[in-house]
């Protein structure tokens, strides 16, 4: 949410800092805000007045206690809601979230055509239409954030689909999107263990393999949304054809669908366990580990968060095994400095990340 500290951006930076504290830490008084943000009381008063006038925040009632009147607490307006979408899974998920990250309603659909997605949005939108301020999505694939276009997503089977135009034509609120790995980072830094780190990697295992990079408190956006395509770095010279048009990409060896080939089961847990026993998972983890160790040499992170829409015990297994392929392949000086963990936000992390994005964009529009 924070902008670079140039004079032009100081006002926006400070306003966002106050909103960020209220979103992450809950209701605070003016004095508490001043202490936490290190902004003067006068600055806080000005910012609070502006945010109250825009209805972004509200004053909670004063509480009288035996020790006198406690100062009024300020809170993000709880009546602002965002409709969020996670387009990464086999099922497309949608939800209504509030600024605290509570999910008020959730629904999903198996998408065959875009109309299925629009009907899902409609079902979520109708009951809350008075309060929804934005629709916000976590999207897999190559995106052009400036236009709202999905350039290519094999996971969605979309090429040059301007999803922003399609959704804004039908619903009277702004649409925002972010690459799925970056939505995941937002969720981690807002609600997960990621809030403890200034630099970390977010490895996302869905149908593809993506790497979100959080560097010096900032989510790396890359050039107009293309970033962290670790799944399309070459790991086998003259290897198998990849959907991206190249050969031997990491995704051709280590993506979850590749690991599960030959173990088609109704239950993904059963299939994953067979893949672990049969050694296919081990090969995938080895390649993932080697690829990550290459990136670590370039941007050493404080932590690596492993996430994906697979069961937590499998994420835990991957997290434990992957260290064995990373540690010997990075500088000894780095070995004890990197924390490995799997995201405990579970399967809703991309929904929550898209929610954070929606609020940030709404407050800065």
- To Zn ion, the closest distance from the beta carbon of 149 in angstroms equals 20
Beta carbon nearer to Zn ion, 204 or 271: 204
Can residue 254 be called a binding residue for Zn ion (CB under 5 A)? no
Q: Which stretch binds Zn ion (CB under 5 A): 18-26, 186-194, 236-244, 282-290?
A: 236-244
Which residue among 47, 156, 219, 249 contacts Zn ion (CB under 5 A)?
249
Residue 249 Cβ vs Zn ion, minimum distance, rounded to whole Å: 3
Contact flag: residue 244 with Zn ion (CB under 5 A): yes
Site map for Zn ion, 190-229, x if CB under 5 A?
----------------------------------------
Q: Three-state SS string across the chain, please?
A: CCCCCCHHHHHHHHHHHHHHHHHHHCCEEHHHHHHHHCCCHHHHHHHHHHHHHCCCEEECCCCEECCEECCCEEEECCCCEEEEEECCCCCEEEEEECCCCCEEEEEEECCCCHHHHHHHHHHHHHHHCCCEEEEEEEECCEEECCCCEEEEECCCCEEEEEHHHHHHHHCCCCEEEEEHHHHHHHHHHHHCHHHHCCCEEEEEECCCEEEEEEECCEECCCECCECCCHHHCECCCCCCECCCCCECECHHHHCHHHHHCCCCCCCHHHHHHHHHHHCHHHHHHHHHHHHHHHHHHHCCCCEEEEEECCCHHHHHHHHHHHHHHHHHHCCHHHHCCCEEEECCCHHHHHHHHHHHHHHHHHHCC
Q: Does 232 engage in binding with Zn ion (CB under 5 A)?
A: yes
Work out whether 187 is an interface residue with Zn ion (CB under 5 A): no
Stretch that binds Zn ion, among 57-65, 242-250, 261-269, 302-310 (CB under 5 A): 242-250
Residue range at the interface with Zn ion (CB under 5 A); choices 12-20, 172-180, 244-252, 328-336? 244-252
Kindly state the smallest distance separating residue 235's Cβ from Zn ion, in Å.
10
49 vs 236, beta carbon nearer Zn ion: 236
Q: Which is nearer to Zn ion, 78 or 248 (CB)?
A: 248
Asked if residue 258 binds Zn ion (CB under 5 A), the reply is no
Closest CB 254 distance from Zn ion, rounded Å: 12
Confirm or reject binding of residue 234 to Zn ion (CB under 5 A): no
Site residues, Zn ion (CB under 5 A): 232, 242, 244, 246, 249
């Amino acid at each position: 949410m924070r902008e670079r500290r140039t004079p032009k951006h100081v006002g926006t930076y400070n306003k966002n800092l106050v909103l960020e504290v209220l979103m992450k830490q809950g209701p605070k008084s003016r004095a508490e805000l001043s202490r936490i943000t290190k902004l003067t009381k006068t600055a806080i008063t000005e910012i609070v007045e502006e945010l109250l006038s825009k209805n972004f925040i509200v004053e909670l009632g004063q509480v009288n206690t035996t020790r006198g009147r406690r100062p009024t607490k300020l809170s993000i307006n709880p009546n602002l809601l965002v409709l969020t979408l996670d387009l990464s899974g086999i099922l497309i998920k949608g939800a209504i979230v509030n600024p605290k990250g509570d999910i008020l309603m959730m629904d999903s659909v198996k998408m065959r055509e875009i109309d299925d997605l629009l009907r899902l949005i409609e079902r979520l939108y109708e009951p809350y239409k008075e309060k929804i301020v934005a629709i916000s999505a976590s999207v897999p694939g190559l995106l052009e954030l400036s236009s709202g276009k999905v350039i290519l997503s094999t996971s969605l089977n979309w090429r040059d689909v301007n999803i922003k135009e399609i959704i804004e034509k039908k619903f009277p609120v702004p649409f925002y999107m972010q690459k799925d790995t970056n939505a995941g980072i937002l969720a981690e830094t807002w609600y997960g263990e990621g809030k403890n780190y200034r630099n970390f990697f977010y490895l996302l295992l869905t149908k593809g393999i993506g790497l979100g990079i959080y560097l010096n408190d900032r989510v790396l956006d890359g050039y107009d949304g293309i970033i962290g395509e670790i799944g399309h770095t070459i790991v086998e010279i003259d290897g198998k054809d990849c959907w991206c048009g190249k050969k031997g990409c990491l995704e051709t060896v280590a993506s979850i669908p590749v690991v599960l080939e030959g173990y088609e089961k109704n239950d993904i847990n059963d299939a994953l366990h067979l893949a672990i026993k049969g050694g296919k998972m081990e090969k995938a983890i080895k390649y993932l580990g080697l690829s990550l160790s290459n990136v670590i040499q370039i941007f050493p992170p404080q932590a690596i968060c492993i996430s994906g829409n697979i069961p937590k015990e499998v994420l835990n297994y991957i997290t434990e095994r992957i260290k064995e392929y990373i540690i010997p392949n990075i500088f000894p000086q780095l070995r004890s400095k990197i924390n490995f963990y799997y995201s405990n936000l579970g399967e809703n992390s991309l929904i929550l990340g898209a929610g954070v994005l929606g609020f940030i964009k709404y407050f800065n529009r």
